[in-house]
Chains A and B, each alone.
Chain A
Amino acid sequence: MLKKLLIANRGEIAVRIIRAARDLGIATVAVYSDADATALHVQIADEAVNIGPPAAKKSYLNVDAILKAAADTGADSIHPGYGFLAENAAFADAVAAAGLTWVGPSGDAIRMMGDKVTARSAAAAAGVPVVPGSDGRVSGIEEARRVLIDTGFPVMIKAAAGGGGRGIRIARDLAEFEQSFPQAGAEALAAFGDGGLYMEKVIERARHIEVQVLGDGADAVHCYERECSLQRRRQKVWEEAPSRALSPRLRDELCHSAVRLAREVGYSGAGTVEYLYDDAADRFYFIEMNTRIQVEHPVTEMITGIDLVAEGLRIAGGEALRLTQDAIRAKGHAIEVRLNADDPARDFAPFPGTVGDLRIPGGPGVRFDSMLYPGYQVPPFYDSLLAKLIVHAETREAAITRLVRALSELEIGGMKTTKPLFLALAKDADVQAGAVHTRWLEGWLETHSAALSADPQP
C-alpha cells in the first residue's frame, strides 16, 4: 500500500484524489503554483509545496520541481490526475527512475496509446474495430489511393504527429484529395517536424461512447460505458451512463473489446477506451485510449458504486484487481454536467472572478465535485472547470428531472457559469429523447444562444 502520495495537479481533480487517498489512510502532498496558494487542494492536503510561478510550464508542468517536492516531503508515489503531465510518458519514466510509484499505466503503455498509429495497431491486434483507414502511416500517394477504396469520401488526412484537432484536412472527393494530400504532408513536416500522414474515413454523424476499464497489468475488467456526445469545440460538456443508444448485445461487444485492448497492452490503473458509435450502421469504432482518470469518471462511479480513484491507488500500491467482472453491476442512470467559468451569453467567454455566496445542491442522488469555496478567486491561468454536478436516479428521465432540481438549488455568486446552458439543454426535446450526436450541440447553440442570456429558472 502507498504511504504518502504527491498529487501533481490542481483544481477539482486534485481535491478528488486527496479525498480518495485519505479515505485509504494514505498521507497527501499537494503542489501549487503562486496563483494557487489559497486553493482548496492546498488547504485539505496534509502538506503542500510551492512549485513555482503561475504559468503551468513553470509549475504544474515542471518535472524537476515536482520530483524535488516529492523527494523533500518523502512521498513514495505520484498521481498525475488528468491534463498537465498525466499522459507524459517521459514523466512516468522519470517518476519510476526516481524510485517512486507512478499511479497509472507504464510509460511504455502511455507511449503506445499516445501515438495514434501504434494505438490503432494495438486495437486491431486486440480485435477492436477501428475506423476504416490506413494501417499506420501512408507511404505515398499510390498507397493513399488504395486506402480510399476502404474509406470512401469524405476522408480525413491526419498528421501522425498532430493532436487536439491540429494537422487535420478533410477531402470530399478525388480532386480535393489529390490536391490536399501533398499539401498535408508539407504542412505536417513544417508544423511538427514529421511529415507522416495517415488516413481515416469521416463518420459524419456519430455518438461519442467510451468504456471505463481497470487493469492491474495482468488482468482487466470494464465498468460499462459512458456517452459524451454533447460537445462544444471537441470539449465534452454533459456526460452520462449508460448510453441509451446501445442494445444489450452491442454494449456487451463494446465493453469486451475495451477489456481485450487493456489486456493486450498490459494496462495498469484506470483508463478509458474511446469509440465513435454510428447509429445508422449500428457499428462502433475505436478512436483512442486515454491512459489516465478522466473528468467524467464520477458518472461510472454513480452507476457501479466503485471508487475508481481509490481502485487506481490500490493497484498502484501493488494489489491485484479486487473486482471480478461479474461483481461489477450497473444500476440506474447518472448524468454529469461541467460547470465552467464561461459565460454562455457571451459565446462562452472565460470569466475569471471571485466566488461570492455559494449554495451547493444536495439530497439523494446528488454529488458535487469541486474546489470552490466562498471567497475563492478563480485564477485566469488554467482551465475554466469550476465544478462537476453529478446526479443519479433510477431512470434517465428521473436523472434529468433531478439534474434540473439540483441546478435550481445551485448558486455560485459573483461568477458567470455554464449553468444556464444545462437548464436549457435539460428542457430540450432532443436531449430528453437522447437523439444527439457529437455535432448536435454546436448546431443547437447557433439557434438557442439567445435563450442563454438570462439565468432562467426552471
Chain B
Amino acid sequence: MAQILSPLPGTFYRASSPDKPPYKADGDSVAVGDVIGLIEVMKSFHEVKSEIAGSNVRFQTENEEPVMAGAVLAELD
C-alpha cells in the first residue's frame, strides 16, 4: 500500500474551489504528477502532485482539515 504525504503544513482542500468537484473522487486511479488536492499555507495555495501511481485512492485527510508536513493525505493500492 502506497501513501501520498503532505509536503507542507497547512489546510488541505480536495477541490480547487468550494463549487468545483474534487480533483480525485474516492476510488479513482492516480498517475504520477496528478493533482490530488491543495494545501493552503499562510494564505497561498500549493498543488499537491502525486509522486506515485496507483488505484483505488482513499483519502485519509478530510477536506478543509489542518495537516502537518508529512501527514498522510491519501492511500493507494
Contacts and interface: CB of A to CB of B under 8 A. Distances in A.
Contacts of A35: 66
A56 B66 CA distance: 11
A384 interface: yes
Interface stretch (A145-153, A210-218, A242-250, A375-383): A375-383
A414 to B, nearest CB: 14
A54 interface: yes
Interface in B5-35: 8-11
Contacts of A381: 10-11, 40, 42, 66
B66 A382 contact: no
Given A380-B8, A380-B9, A381-B10, A350 B44 contact: yes
Interface residues of B, number: 11
A129 interface: no
B42 A55 contact: no
B66 A350 contact: no
A352 B9 contact: yes
Interface string A51-64: 00111000000000
Given A55-B11, A352-B9, A352-B10, A380 B42 contact: yes
Contacts of B43: 350, 382-384
Interface string A342-357: 1000000110100000
Given A35-B66, A54-B66, A382 B42 contact: yes
A349 B43 CA distance: 11
Given A352-B10, A380-B8, A380-B9, A53 B42 contact: no
Nearest to A58: B64
Mostly helix, strand, loop or mixed at chain B's interface?
A: strand
A184 B40 CA distance: 29
Contacts of B41: 350, 352, 380
A: contact size bracket: 10 to 19
User: By CB atoms of chain B within 10 A, which of A35, A352, A383 has the most?
Assistant: A352
Interface string A332-375: 00000000011000000110100000000000000000000000
A35 B9 CA distance: 12
A35 B41 CA distance: 13
Nearest to A353: B9
Contacts of A341: 42
A384 B40 CA distance: 12
Contacts of A349: 44
Interface string A87-108: 0000000000000000000000
A309 B51 CA distance: 50
A384 B8 CA distance: 15
Given A352-B42, A380-B41, A382-B42, A55 B10 contact: no
A388 B9 CA distance: 24
Nearest to B44: A350
Nearest to B10: A380
Nearest to B64: A55
Interface of B: 8-11, 40-44, 64, 66
Which 3 A/B pairs are nearest by Cβ-Cβ distance?
A350-B42, A384-B42, A380-B10
13 contacts: A54-B11, A55-B11, A342-B42, A349-B44, A350-B43, A350-B44, A352-B8, A352-B42, A380-B9, A380-B41, A381-B11, A383-B42, A383-B43
